[in-house]
Structure 1
Amino acid sequence: MAEHLLEIRNLSVQFHTAGGTVHAVRNISWHLDRGETLAILGESGSGKSVSASAIMNLIDMPPGEITSGEVIFAGKNLLAMSDDERRAINGKRIAMIFQDPLSHLNPVFTVGWQIIEVMRIHGVPADAARARALDLLKRVGIPAPDTAMRKYPHQFSGGQRQRLMIAMALALKPDIVIADEPTTALDVTVQAEVLALLGELQKETGLGLLLITHDLGVVADIADRVVVMNAGEIVETGTPDEVYHNPKHPYTRKLIAAAPGRGEMHEPNATGEPLLKVENLCKSYGSFTALKGVSFTLQPGETMAVVGESGSGKSTLARALLRLDEADSGHAYWKGQDLLKMPAKELYKLRRQLQMVFQDPTQSLNPRMTVYQLVSEAWVIHPEILPKPQWRARVEELLTQVGLSPAHAERYPHQFSGGQRQRIAIARALALRPELIVCDEAVSALDVSIQAQVIALLDNLRRELGIAFIFIAHDLPVVRDFADHVMVMQAGECVEVGTVRQIFENPQRDYTRRLLDAGLDPDPRVQAARRMPNARIGAEVG
């Protein structure tokens, strides 16, 4: 039998913490062959990212400790190599695409400098490195590569930043690319483009792709084999078709059952005066027009989903409504009062009724505050809501509601995964018992089962407390399960609006149909039938 490109043998990793030893990875074994895509599927805390970090020598030791196992690459055990030997391999022969590109791109250096640096460290001459960087930016579909080389990470959209990370990973033509949730925060068409791009590059170079994900749709679309992990252990392996259609382990069956897009569609029945009425909202940034006369109404207890590609104006709309950015013109009537004209003192009193869950909890949560302080801060600002002796119990109740442990209250944001940080942000928003919550990609980073729990939680709050939601999302199956109405945005305009059934079963605009076609189905057989249209989308844009 030919030697595997990469082989993990009996790997175990643990972390020594103040609360005891955490066994993050327990005696796992798998292999990756050249030209193959292996998906490691599992929820936060399953050990999938820890095992990838062991390959790249990214585990902090202490508190981490690799207690057993081997990582065999090119006939040698990476775990037995010196730091100098590992540095010669990392980046050059094994590269990594991280989950959150904004956290892994240096904000004070241009992206061109950062891509060139990867090559210069491994001895590539400056002129050759610059030429290669320009070629890579073209290859991954970044517009105007010469200009882009001089820009900083914050000047790119989320999808473009992920493409930059891909360019950086491919700079030295590695044998293996480890992609850690590479499409989690991307809208459906950009996700299709990125997956198609990875597939094309894999065919061209024959690299082995290790894909870490919690998204069954991504597994169905791109994986050759899948390894399912739970609580640090491998519970199931096989092809995507075998695992989806004939799951052996209860945990795998639970993941499949939690996949969104299978439930009954909501039929709106709200009547009476609208809670929020938006008329001709406009917003520009210099010469760029982000919102072009957007109008819609929202009834009490109703969910309006806002969908569209990066740059369509979804987040700008949310920020303008909450006065985080000032709109140029238009009206937003909240119970008859125009939010956009309201004096600061009145707006301050109203803030508790309007809350927002931001897309990136890494940026929205103060890293110096504990979870308890983050959630209870709302009552410091609005002390009339809850007496201080009740704060601790209420924080623990909120953490339990969003799928966290009360014991997490004394930890800091950096001690959690991306999905767990988003749950903290949701608990923080719920603390004020608002009438409207604006969710900007609030569940995009969550595992499928936790996502299902959080959506069920939000749905219960809507029914029991009458909370309304503006739900900005790129995950169309979640929108199908949760929303009452859908507003489709493109280039700052509302191009189509209707009930969930109207949008999903009878879309009127080509753009809406393209969004729906770009979505991923968790069933590999269904997704296989849709691959050709998705591949065309990637080819047209990339």
Structure 2
Amino acid sequence: MSKPLLHVNDLEKVFSSRTMFRKKQVRAVRDVSFTLEAGKVLAIVGESGSGKSTIARMLTNLIPATSGDIAYNGQSLRDNRQLRKKLPTFVQMIFQDPFAALNPHHTIGYIIGRPLQVHRMVQGNTRSRVLALLRKVGLTPEEDFIDKYPYQLSGGQKQRVIIAKVLGLEPKVIIADEPTSMLDVSIGIDIMNLLLDLKEKENLALLMITHNLGSARYMADHIAVMYAGQVMEYGPAEELIQNPQHPYTKLLLYSSPDPWREQADHFDLSDAQGQAVSESCCSFQPRCPFATDICKTKPAAAVQTDSGHQVRCHLYA
């Protein structure tokens, strides 16, 4: 097995706010651990507010982690000023909204070329390098795009520009935060195929954040299912989809339209209601149709099941 490019151990993020009368804390991410190797794709799946994008921002050092450790190529990000300085050339992020991620006042050539100058990736004129990057992401003929402004491009073309900008710094790890959610379905598939092709050619490690299990299944080697800041289930992508273990993973699958699916007698969606509750119990307990008394009094620990999944559920303890 190759050495992981990215290793996350017991990651936690607490957001604090203070009013005149009290201080409030929200644990957005807790007890999250995973690894990612070169040439592999890990998908983090979950509903809005589950902590997916918070993890992405910690991995890119946009926000600091409250506790836990993030290591790139065996080097811990914590208290490592030199690594944090070099981080943009090792890990890059593709943001969700291509319309907001590009400066409308600059040309495509400037947007892609400026980071190359800042990080001294090229000497002198950057135009030839920018043209090569545009060609690599399928924006051809590249001379037709380099002098355009973002408003002259479609959503899919904008996302390709962002990917070209990311590739310019030659990162080893790419974090894609919902890269297709703002695009038409057919264009989104083109972007996913582009990322998979680049992953193979450049031997990249790709972390994909999505709420869509179908996209995760198409892209990923492994899937981590998140709820209320915790990884509820982790396993190989196809095995997790075909044989889900955690009730929340089953809920996500059954909430996706499938005209060929037979209604399962043991899983009634009408029971899956409620909100996350205190950390002194299982966070999914109010929505779980299989909840028992221990779920209401004790938080669930991650255990390994017979199928090889890692599941945070009392049913498997």
Q: Following TM superposition, by how much is the alpha carbon of 1:145 offset from its aligned partner in structure 2, in angstroms?
A: 1.8
SS in 2 for 1:102: coil
The residue that corresponds to 2:14 in the other structure is: 14
The residue that corresponds to 2:98 in the other structure is: 101
Whether the 8 Å contact between 1:112 and 1:149 is mirrored in structure 2 is: yes
Counterpart selection for 1:48 from 34, 49, 52 = 52
Whether the 8 Å contact between 1:27 and 1:68 is mirrored in structure 2 is: no
What TM-score, normalized to structure 2? 0.77
SS in 2 for 1:101: coil
The residue that corresponds to 1:291 in the other structure is: none
**How far does the alpha carbon of each residue in 1:276-329 deviate from its partner, in whole angstroms, 9 at most, with x for none?**
xxxxxxxxxxxxxxxxxxxxxxxxxxxxxxxxxxxxxxxxxxxxxxxxxxxxxx
The residue that corresponds to 1:207 in the other structure is: 204
Tell me the distance in 1 between the aligned counterparts of 2:7 and 2:210.
19
Tell me the distance in 2 between the aligned counterparts of 1:204 and 1:128.
26
Tell me the distance in 2 between the aligned counterparts of 1:133 and 1:172.
11
Tell me the distance in 1 between the aligned counterparts of 2:139 and 2:196.
18
Q: Following TM superposition, by how much is the alpha carbon of 1:253 offset from its aligned partner in structure 2, in angstroms?
A: 0.8
Tell me the distance in 2 between the aligned counterparts of 1:141 and 1:261.
33
SS in 1 for 2:170: coil
SS in 2 for 1:80: coil
SS in 1 for 2:100: helix
Tell me the distance in 2 between the aligned counterparts of 1:13 and 1:200.
33
Q: Following TM superposition, by how much is the alpha carbon of 1:263 offset from its aligned partner in structure 2, in angstroms?
A: 8.2
Tell me the distance in 2 between the aligned counterparts of 1:181 and 1:31.
20
The residue that corresponds to 1:188 in the other structure is: 185
Shift of the 118–192 alpha-carbon distance from structure 1 to 2, 3 Å rule, reads: same
User: Equivalences for 1:227-376 in 2 at 5 Å?
Assistant: 227-262=224-259
Shift of the 242–133 alpha-carbon distance from structure 1 to 2, 3 Å rule, reads: same
Which of the pair has more CA radius of gyration?
Answer: 1
Q: Aligned AA for 1:220?
A: R
Tell me the distance in 1 between the aligned counterparts of 2:91 and 2:65.
20
Q: Following TM superposition, by how much is the alpha carbon of 1:161 offset from its aligned partner in structure 2, in angstroms?
A: 0.6
Q: Aligned AA for 2:74?
A: G
Shift of the 200–2 alpha-carbon distance from structure 1 to 2, 3 Å rule, reads: closer
1:31 correspondence with 2:35: yes
The residue that corresponds to 2:163 in the other structure is: 166
**How far does the alpha carbon of each residue in 1:422-444 deviate from its partner, in whole angstroms, 9 at most, with x for none?**
xxxxxxxxxxxxxxxxxxxxxxx
Tell me the distance in 2 between the aligned counterparts of 1:101 and 1:21.
32
Counterpart selection for 1:58 from 42, 50, 62 = 62
Shift of the 128–223 alpha-carbon distance from structure 1 to 2, 3 Å rule, reads: farther
Whether the 8 Å contact between 2:11 and 2:31 is mirrored in structure 1 is: yes
Tell me the distance in 1 between the aligned counterparts of 2:200 and 2:140.
24
Counterpart selection for 1:155 from 136, 152, 155 = 152
More helix by share: 1
Tell me the distance in 2 between the aligned counterparts of 1:246 and 1:192.
25
Q: Aligned AA for 2:166?
A: A
Q: Following TM superposition, by how much is the alpha carbon of 1:107 offset from its aligned partner in structure 2, in angstroms?
A: 1.4
Whether the 8 Å contact between 2:121 and 2:169 is mirrored in structure 1 is: no
Shift of the 128–37 alpha-carbon distance from structure 1 to 2, 3 Å rule, reads: farther
The residue that corresponds to 2:69 in the other structure is: 70
The residue that corresponds to 2:309 in the other structure is: none
Tell me the distance in 1 between the aligned counterparts of 2:257 and 2:153.
30
Q: Aligned AA for 1:180?
A: D
Tell me the distance in 2 between the aligned counterparts of 1:168 and 1:2.
28
Q: Aligned AA for 2:153?
A: F
SS in 1 for 2:113: helix
User: Equivalences for 1:90-169 in 2 at 5 Å?
Assistant: 90=88, 92-127=89-124, 129-169=126-166
Q: Following TM superposition, by how much is the alpha carbon of 1:262 offset from its aligned partner in structure 2, in angstroms?
A: 3.1
Whether the 8 Å contact between 2:172 and 2:205 is mirrored in structure 1 is: yes
RMSD of equivalent CA atoms: 2.0
The residue that corresponds to 2:307 in the other structure is: none
Q: Following TM superposition, by how much is the alpha carbon of 1:108 offset from its aligned partner in structure 2, in angstroms?
A: 1.1
Q: Aligned AA for 1:190?
A: I
User: How many aligned positions are there?
Assistant: 259
Tell me the distance in 2 between the aligned counterparts of 1:144 and 1:107.
22
Shift of the 87–108 alpha-carbon distance from structure 1 to 2, 3 Å rule, reads: farther
SS in 2 for 1:221: helix
Tell me the distance in 2 between the aligned counterparts of 1:251 and 1:161.
34
Q: Aligned AA for 1:120?
A: Q
SS in 2 for 1:256: helix
Whether the 8 Å contact between 2:96 and 2:178 is mirrored in structure 1 is: yes
**How far does the alpha carbon of each residue in 1:395-429 deviate from its partner, in whole angstroms, 9 at most, with x for none?**
xxxxxxxx9x9xxxxxxxxxxxxxxxxxxxxxxxx
Q: Aligned AA for 2:254?
A: A
1:3 correspondence with 2:7: no
Counterpart selection for 2:84 from 76, 83, 86 = 86
Tell me the distance in 1 between the aligned counterparts of 2:153 and 2:184.
15
Q: Following TM superposition, by how much is the alpha carbon of 1:152 offset from its aligned partner in structure 2, in angstroms?
A: 1.4
Q: Following TM superposition, by how much is the alpha carbon of 1:155 offset from its aligned partner in structure 2, in angstroms?
A: 1.3
Q: Following TM superposition, by how much is the alpha carbon of 1:188 offset from its aligned partner in structure 2, in angstroms?
A: 2.2
SS in 2 for 1:66: coil
Q: Aligned AA for 1:166?
A: I
Shift of the 7–155 alpha-carbon distance from structure 1 to 2, 3 Å rule, reads: same
The residue that corresponds to 1:540 in the other structure is: none
Tell me the distance in 2 between the aligned counterparts of 1:116 and 1:245.
44
Q: Following TM superposition, by how much is the alpha carbon of 1:75 offset from its aligned partner in structure 2, in angstroms?
A: 1.6
5+ unaligned residues in a row in structure 2: which ranges?
262-272, 276-317
Between stretches 100-109 and 208-217, larger displacement belongs to 100-109
**How far does the alpha carbon of each residue in 1:154-188 deviate from its partner, in whole angstroms, 9 at most, with x for none?**
11111111111111111122111111111112222
**How far does the alpha carbon of each residue in 1:13-45 deviate from its partner, in whole angstroms, 9 at most, with x for none?**
011124721110001100001100000111111
Shift of the 121–25 alpha-carbon distance from structure 1 to 2, 3 Å rule, reads: same
Whether the 8 Å contact between 1:88 and 1:122 is mirrored in structure 2 is: no
